[in-house]
Amino acid sequence: MSCNHKWFTVFAEDYCKKVTDGTHDSPKKQLEGKYLITSRHLKEFSLDLNNAYRISESDFNKINERSKVDTWDIMISMIGTVGNIYLEKSHQIDYAIKNVGLFKMGGDVEKAKWLYYYLKSPKAQEYIKVNMRGSTQQYIPLGSLRKLPIKVSAFNKEMNTITHILSTLDEKIETNNQINEKLEEMAQALFKHWFVDFEFPNENGEPYKSSGGEMVESELGMIPKGWRVGKVGEIIQLFDHKRIPLSKKERDKRDKIYPYYGAASLMDYVDDFIFNGLYILLGEDGTVVDDSGYPIIQYVWGKFWVNNHAHVIKGIENISEDFIYLYLRNINVNSIVTGAVQKKISQQNLKNLKALLPNNYDLIKEFSFIVNPWFTLLRNNIEQNRRLEKVRDTLLPKLMSGEIRVPVEEEK
């Protein structure tokens, strides 16, 4: 066993079959058709199609004459949040790309994996950062992507061993993500069955509505007898008074230890925390609803900090945060959103939002008893992923730079 030390650098345009990018035009949106993927749709292990719009077959074909994505091609976000990387492993959905860089690998799996991880390395990310242009909205030019220097080994087995180590960690992370998607789907389906379709178990364990359970009229339509139209404020507690915003300048001075959340997402890490426990965050201003009018929700736990753009919520006594999370995910809030330019959901409007509630909260407790283990497993999977990501992100630059060498057999 030995390690070959023959490393050299090549440009991306020589390493890849082709380096190109998607359209810079704005094809007309359609209700049906092919997906158009942009930089914001690139996630680590998937494409987020929730907000991707559709385009015509002719526009799709025209774009793909220049930049058709095939299996084992790599995409990189070029505008806005520059540097997000996505490796297309299966290509199960047809799509075209806009403002996305494309490294075409000609189906070479091993070369694709090496470039994918190299693009995520500090050296490549630093190159991307240095070559970004634009003051209002930053971007990286296609020419810079083509001239991206890639460190490669003359010893293919060494590169393959490195990518295998990193891929093994990513595969476990991806498996946990898939399990969590199924767990949430199960919880959402059961919530809808019980609290939307009113098929919760009756005293005989049969589905209430389809077994002839009595329904009565209400201002929100027909509801089970014994239920009522109440307010969201009856089942939630708000802890907004504890929030403290920190400017980016202030955050940059701090060590990166605890999550710092904004209205819609994790924004940063800081060296202290305000909250410790399981909470639900709901966007207060800025990004507060999705395209269908449902609130932007974050399910968070542990020690963390929140700025003043997200409501901080727990359930009242005996009502779990798991239930609150599902309940808020399934309630349309368009009626309480104010502001034309800067959208807002005030505390008062949130608490006064009409909510369909059973008179006896025992049904909610019974539901929570079923779904709580699912959410416990979901949180455990995410915690494991965080540990795996830390290992991967520590190993990646050391392996890609040759600081840590892997033992492999010499090639004949």
Q: Identify the residue whose tokens are 């924004």.
A: 267
Residues 348, 244, single domain; the answer is yes
Burial (Cβ within 10 Å: 0-12, 13-18, ≥19) of residue 191: buried
Residues 144, 261, single domain; the answer is no
Which amino acid type is present at position 164? H
Residues 134, 25, single domain; the answer is yes
Count of other CB atoms within 10 angstroms of residue 59 = 20
In a domain, 395, yes or no: no
Q: Tell me which of 119, 154, 189 is where a domain ends.
A: 154
In a domain, 166, yes or no: no
Q: Is the pLDDT of residue 4 over 90?
A: no
Q: How far apart are CA 163 and CA 167, in angstroms?
A: 6
Q: Tell me which of 124, 154, 184 is where a domain ends.
A: 154
Which amino acid type is present at position 210? S
- Which domain, by its residues, includes 50? 8-154
In a domain, 387, yes or no: no
Taking only the tens place, the pLDDT of each residue in 162-199 is 999 999 999 999 999 999 999 999 999 999 999 999 99
Burial (Cβ within 10 Å: 0-12, 13-18, ≥19) of residue 23: buried
Structure confidence at residue 317 (pLDDT): 85
Its pTM stands at 0.85
Evaluate the CA torsion angle 131, 48, 282, 184 in order and state its sign: negative
Nearest to 50 by CA among 264, 328, 350, 334: 264
Q: Is the pLDDT of residue 2 over 50?
A: no
Taking only the tens place, the pLDDT of each residue in 393-412 is 999 888 887 788 887 665 55
Q: Identify the residue whose tokens are 């490549």.
A: 124
Taking only the tens place, the pLDDT of each residue in 333-391 is 999 999 878 899 999 999 999 999 998 899 999 999 999 999 999 999 999 999 999 99
Residues 124, 254, single domain; the answer is no
Which of 26-35, 151-160, 207-216 shows the lowest mean pLDDT across its residues? 151-160
If one counts the domains in the chain, the total is 2
The share of the chain scoring above pLDDT 70, in percent, equals: 98
Structure confidence at residue 412 (pLDDT): 52
Q: Is the pLDDT of residue 307 over 90?
A: yes
Residues 348, 265, single domain; the answer is yes
* For residues 239-258, average pLDDT: 93
Q: Tell me which of 92, 126, 154 is where a domain ends.
A: 154
Cα–chain center distance at 242: 26
In a domain, 313, yes or no: yes
CATH number, domain with residue 281: 3.90.220.20
* For residues 275-299, average pLDDT: 93
In a domain, 403, yes or no: no
In a domain, 47, yes or no: yes
Beta strands in 143-291 (DSSP E): 149-153, 215-216, 223-224, 227-231, 236-238, 258-261, 266-270, 275-276, 279-283
Q: Is the pLDDT of residue 134 over 90?
A: no
Going by their DSSP bridges, the two strands 74-77 and 85-87 should be labelled as antiparallel
In a domain, 398, yes or no: no
Going by their DSSP bridges, the two strands 18-21 and 100-104 should be labelled as antiparallel
In a domain, 3, yes or no: no
Structure confidence at residue 342 (pLDDT): 87
